[in-house]
Amino acid sequence: MRVTIQRVTTASVTVEQRVVSEISNGLLLFLGIEEADTEEDIKWLCKKVANLRIFNDAQGVMNLSLLQINGEALVISQFTLHASTKKGNRPSYIKAARPEVAVPLYEQFVSQLEKDLGKKVGTGIFGADMKVALLNDGPVTIQIDSKNRE
């Protein structure tokens, strides 16, 4: 399971010209799911996201977590995070989970993150053509892979 995290002051997702979710100060998460992902990956990654200290404290140092600032989260499914560009110029998405596997894991991830944060989490619509707007704060962008826990 891979996530690209962007610290934002605002973010929204639009489907068919309708805003389906929006947040203010918090994290925009692009989530990529692969066939091998499990509940363990979800729990580890959600805990990491909720407690990642990437928000500024009173001294301007990135020392506070999403939990500590009572920030919001928006989770967008993005199978392209598992793109392989090893051969040729057309990416392969063979490692990305098919919808019948990915949808339940995506829903579990959202539920676990809501539990860890103690609040509702915004989402896009799985598999839809989504337009994501954001104002990256910093900019701060971090990538985490649950299979490579460095």
Which residues, at least 6 apart from 76, have a Cβ–Cβ distance to it below 8 Å? 13, 28, 29, 30, 31, 123, 124, 130, 132
Provide the 3-class DSSP secondary structure of residue 150: coil
Report CA 144 to chain centroid distance, whole Å.
Answer: 10
Catalytic residue among 9, 38, 80, 141: 80
Active site (annotated) includes residue 38? no
Kindly provide the residue ranges of all beta strands, DSSP E only, lying in 44-102, ordered along the sequence. Answer: 55-56, 62-64, 72-77
CA dist 56 → 60, 82, 135 (Å): 5, 30, 16
Integer Cα distance of 58 and 26 in angstroms = 17
Residues involved in catalysis: 80
